[in-house]
């Protein structure tokens, strides 16, 4: 039996990891934040002293991009010190660490999708804290996989898809930023990729380490994504294009942060499906939940 620690089990990716069938040979331990604060070296040390893990998936993070501009200490504690603590523990036990990261490590000034080797230059505190986390993992945990993803949507917690569905029930037209282009991605699809990578590393100490990108295929602006959500939801709402300048936010965001996925396809045989198909599944899940709730 292999024992797998999943941090951030109540987050978008964490919940999807918990829904997967890991098979009879894997035992999942997914503590809530109250039971394991990854930013506390003492907590992490005590947790690893109690249980012998075979691999760790770090899906915990501080993800409030705008708030991070005013909470740098907290963002860096969770997104940089946290991964550093986990990386220390993983190195001490010689076990693999699979760590989630973000497209916001990039500046967004490239015309084509970012590859894993492209230079990073985060525009805000959140991206900087996540980049620091990547470096901590690389420096301390030799058996690591850093999986960068982007623009996550799911049926859980609050995210762009759920916000747009709510707004489409309140208004006929919604203004949405059309000059930021990215890779909309299902948290469930990322979780499936994380599972495949984790199982590969549990089965084979020589499975490839390193940095990988995992997003759904294709690109979209936030406006494109909003319109697809409305259409798939059977809503007549219209997503009206506005610019980033029309919708100022506390944190700057990359204008173009598509991620290239050729490396994960080559090394792990993971071929991401188009983002629209993934979004359709989430809209269908939310609609099904509402039907059950109403009956």
Return the active site residues. 126
Task: Indicate whether 55 belongs to the interface with ligand NAP (CB under 6 A).
Answer: no
Half-sphere exposure at residue 52, Cβ-oriented, CA atoms within 13 angstroms: 4
Least distance in Å: CB of 119 to ligand NAP?
19
The rounded distance, in Å, linking the Cα atoms of 38 and 129 is 14
Least distance in Å: CB of 71 to ligand NAP?
12
User: Binding segment for ligand NAP among 31-39, 87-95, 110-118, 168-176 (CB under 6 A)?
Assistant: 31-39
- Considering only 80, 146, 152, 191, the residue that binds ligand NAP (CB under 6 A) is 152
Q: CB-based contacts of 164: which residues, under 8 Å, 6+ apart?
A: 174, 176, 225, 226, 229, 230, 239
Where residue 179 falls (left for φ over 0; alpha for ψ -120 to 50; beta otherwise) is: alpha
| CA-based nearest residue to 84, from 120, 40, 47 | 40
The rounded distance, in Å, linking the Cα atoms of 160 and 52 is 38
Residue 102 vs 261, nearer CB to ligand NAP: 102
The rounded distance, in Å, linking the Cα atoms of 136 and 206 is 21
Least distance in Å: CB of 79 to ligand NAP?
7
Residue 58 vs 168, nearer CB to ligand NAP: 58
| CA-based nearest residue to 72, from 120, 130, 136, 13 | 130
Residue 61 vs 174, nearer CB to ligand NAP: 61
**Hey, which residues does 147 pair with through a beta bridge?**
100, 212
- Expressed in angstroms, the distance from the first to the final Cα of the chain is 41
| Residues composing the chain | 295
Residue 77 vs 277, nearer CB to ligand NAP: 77
Other beta carbons within 10 angstroms of residue 99's beta carbon come to 30
- Considering only 2, 33, 67, 252, the residue that binds ligand NAP (CB under 6 A) is 33
Residue 19 vs 171, nearer CB to ligand NAP: 19
Task: Indicate whether 212 belongs to the interface with ligand NAP (CB under 6 A).
Answer: no
Task: Indicate whether 134 belongs to the interface with ligand NAP (CB under 6 A).
Answer: no
Q: CB-based contacts of 170: which residues, under 8 Å, 6+ apart?
A: none
Task: Indicate whether 10 belongs to the interface with ligand NAP (CB under 6 A).
Answer: yes
Residue nearest to ligand NAP (CB): 11
Residues 168-207 as x/- pattern, contact with ligand NAP by CB under 6 A? -------------------x--------------------
Task: Indicate whether 78 belongs to the interface with ligand NAP (CB under 6 A).
Answer: yes
Whether 90 contacts 141, CB under 8 Å: yes
| CA-based nearest residue to 226, from 237, 215, 216, 214 | 237
Task: Indicate whether 37 belongs to the interface with ligand NAP (CB under 6 A).
Answer: yes
Residue 32 vs 203, nearer CB to ligand NAP: 32
Least distance in Å: CB of 44 to ligand NAP?
9
Task: Indicate whether 113 belongs to the interface with ligand NAP (CB under 6 A).
Answer: no
Residues that bind ligand NAP (CB under 6 A): 7-8, 10-14, 33, 36-39, 59-63, 78, 82, 100, 102-103, 130, 149-152, 157, 187
């Amino acid at each position: 039996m292999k024992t797998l620690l999943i941090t951030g089990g109540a987050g978008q990716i964490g919940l999807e990891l918990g829904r997967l069938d890991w098979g009879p040979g894997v035992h999942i331990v997914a503590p809530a934040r109250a039971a394991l604060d990854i930013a506390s070296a003492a907590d992490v040390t005590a947790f690893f002293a109690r249980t012998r893990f075979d691999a760790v998936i770090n899906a915990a993070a501080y993800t409030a991009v705008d708030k991070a501009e005013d909470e740098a200490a907290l963002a860096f504690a969770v997104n940089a010190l946290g991964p550093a603590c986990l990386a220390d523990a993983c190195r001490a036990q010689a076990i693999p660490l699979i760590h989630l990261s973000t497209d916001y490590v990039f500046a967004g000034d490239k015309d084509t999708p970012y590859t894993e080797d492209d230079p990073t230059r985060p525009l805000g505190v959140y991206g900087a804290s996540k980049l620091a986390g990547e470096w901590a993992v690389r420096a301390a945990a030799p058996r690591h996989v850093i999986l960068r993803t982007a623009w996550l949507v799911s049926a859980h917690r609050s995210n762009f898809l759920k916000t747009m569905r709510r707004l489409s029930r309140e208004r006929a037209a919604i203004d949405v930023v059309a000059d930021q282009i990215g890779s909309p991605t299902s948290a469930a699809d990322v979780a499936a990729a994380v599972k495949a990578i984790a199982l590969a590393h549990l089965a084979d100490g020589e499975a490839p380490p390193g940095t990988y990108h995992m997003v759904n295929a294709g690109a979209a602006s936030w406006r494109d994504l909003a319109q697809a959500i409305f259409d798939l939801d059977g809503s007549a709402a219209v997503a009206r294009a506005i610019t980033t300048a029309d919708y100022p936010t506390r944190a700057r965001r990359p204008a173009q942060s598509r991620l290239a996925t050729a490396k994960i396809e080559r090394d792990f045989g993971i071929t991401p499906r188009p983002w629209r198909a993934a979004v359709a599944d989430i809209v269908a899940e939310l609609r099904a939940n509402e039907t059950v709730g109403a009956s």
